[in-house]
Amino acid sequence: MIGVRRRLFWKVYLTLLASLIAVAFLIGAFWGLVGESHYERWGPSHVQLDDWSIPARDDPPGAVAAAMTRLGGELGADISVYDAGGALAASRGLPIPLTAARGHAGPRAQIMRVDLPDGRAVVARFRPPGLNPRLRILTIVLIVVGGVGLAAFPITARLTRRLEALRSGVEQWGAGALSLRLDGAGHDEVAVVARTFNASAARVEDLLASQKALLANASHELRSPLARLRLAIELWLAHPSPEMHAEIVRNLAESDQLVEEILLASRLNHAGPSNARAARVDLLGLAAEEAARIGAGVACVSDGGESVEIDGDATLLRRLIRNLLENAAKHGRPPITISVTRSEDMARIVVADAGDGIAPAERERVFEPFYRPAGRAESSGGWGLGLSLVRQIAERHGGDAACEAALEGGTRFVVDLAMRRA
């Protein structure tokens, strides 16, 4: 783990330094191509040397040496004077051989010779000011790289440290720490990735928790019909009768419906809204078909009985209406009515019954999977998955479901659905 982080750190850090070195060398090369040469900087010295007067041989002793000292100080050069016979007459600085003027002194110095009319020769050795251009470029590169390297070190270390924390967190989450969340503080790309991961991790954790609860509740709920089915089969084998046959069929249907609802709940939990089969669905037609199946009435239809159509999944919407009507038939009392109305952007389905009603404290909890009120016998059953599926299907279609008390007594379930899919 440490090796991975350090490799990333050095990769980012050395890439940055290599880029700076390349840029510095390119700038230095360009400067070397277009900048003035040291020969051009020495051009004015030729004119000054030609204009200087060198004392004659018969001037007072020391006059030539004094002139050389003054001239060398002005030009910043070593100067030697040779008489007509080639002997050294005077020198400022290190003596310069007369023969050296015929060659090149290298990049660090330049030799110049001036022959005077009286036969004497003046030889000057100029040294360019400052560093050699190549050394100057190298010095600039080292300064730039060193300065930027020091400044970039903590920045690169912080970036790779956050990336390492992100990688380590994802690895721990993948190993089973589903409650782990990453530090999403900040506004850069790393923080955005961390927040996106946290949202995805929370969604996955919720899905797994709901699946775990669903499996536990389903296994518990399946025990009752399976136990009754086993008993009915044993009794029917001992004494076949139409009543035992009807009980077997009823328990098989109950188990089949429960398994179907479990599969549907699992599909709704794992599938996003984009997976729904969107089509124009006539809610009034579905309500009339399902109401006729259980003998419920269709009432309070808006717009004189005109159809109410929405964009949605016909199979899921039929299941929503069927669950509402079957819930009213199981837990309420007739008369059971269903109404379908519409507004500008929402469609509303209301299923009402004349039962004892649901206590206000339990009106929200009835939408929980397999909710059973306190004190209710297991033989009388709970709400199973029916109403939970109603709410999930409603939310999948841009709406919601609620439980209310009917004005005339009993219970009414209200489902709002978006007319158009977002």
- Looking at the predicted structure, is the pLDDT value of residue 234 above 90? no
CB 116 within 8 A of CB 108: no
- Looking at the predicted structure, is the pLDDT value of residue 288 above 80? yes
Q: Read out DSSP for 109-154?
A: -EEEEEE-TTS-EEEEEE--SSS-HHHHHHHHHHHHHHHHHHHHHH
- Looking at the predicted structure, is the pLDDT value of residue 131 above 70? no
The tens digit of pLDDT for each residue in 194-218 reads 889 888 888 888 878 777 766 766 6
Q: In whole angstroms, give the CA distance from residue 367 to residue 351.
A: 15
- Looking at the predicted structure, is the pLDDT value of residue 11 above 90? no
Between residues 5 and 249, which one has the greater pLDDT? 249
Average pLDDT over residues 263-278: 63
Query: What pLDDT, on the 0 to 100 scale, is given for residue 15?
Result: 73
Query: What pLDDT, on the 0 to 100 scale, is given for residue 62?
Result: 73
- Looking at the predicted structure, is the pLDDT value of residue 91 above 50? yes
Residue 59 binned pLDDT confidence (cut-offs 50, 70, 90): low
Tell me which fold the domain 275-418 belongs to. Heat Shock Protein 90 (3.30.565)
Query: What pLDDT, on the 0 to 100 scale, is given for residue 218?
Result: 67
Tell me which fold the domain 210-270 belongs to. Helix Hairpins (1.10.287)
Average pLDDT over residues 392-411: 85
Which residues have C-beta within 8 Å of that of residue 140, sequence separation ≥ 6?
24, 28
Residue 50 binned pLDDT confidence (cut-offs 50, 70, 90): very low
Q: In whole angstroms, give the CA distance from residue 363 to residue 404.
A: 7
Query: What pLDDT, on the 0 to 100 scale, is given for residue 46?
Result: 47
- Looking at the predicted structure, is the pLDDT value of residue 114 above 70? yes
Mean per-residue pLDDT over the chain, rounded: 75
Residue 413 binned pLDDT confidence (cut-offs 50, 70, 90): very high
Between residues 20 and 246, which one has the greater pLDDT? 246
Residue ranges per structural domain of the chain: 2-36+132-174, 43-126, 210-270, 275-418
Average pLDDT over residues 360-388: 72
Q: Read out DSSP for 323-364?
A: HHHHHHHHHS-S--EEEEEE-SSEEEEEEEE-SS---GGGTT
Percent of the chain with pLDDT over 90: 5
The tens digit of pLDDT for each residue in 29-45 reads 666 665 555 444 444 44
- Looking at the predicted structure, is the pLDDT value of residue 415 above 90? yes
Strand partners, 77: 126
Query: What pLDDT, on the 0 to 100 scale, is given for residue 44?
Result: 45
Q: In whole angstroms, give the CA distance from residue 355 to residue 147.
A: 82
Query: What pLDDT, on the 0 to 100 scale, is given for residue 350?
Result: 92
- CA dist list (Å): 27 to 17, 22, 31, 42, 43: 15, 9, 6, 24, 26
Average pLDDT over residues 179-192: 81
Q: Read out DSSP for 359-422?
A: -GGGTTGGGSTT---TT--GGG---TTHHHHHHHHHHHTT-EEEEEE-TTSSEEEEEEEESS--
Average pLDDT over residues 130-149: 69
Query: What pLDDT, on the 0 to 100 scale, is given for residue 87?
Result: 83
Predicted TM-score of the model (pTM): 0.51
Same fold? 210-270, 275-418 = no
- Looking at the predicted structure, is the pLDDT value of residue 385 above 80? no
**Which residue shows structure tokens 């044993």?**
234
Average pLDDT over residues 336-347: 87
CB 358 within 8 A of CB 412: no
Residue 129 binned pLDDT confidence (cut-offs 50, 70, 90): low
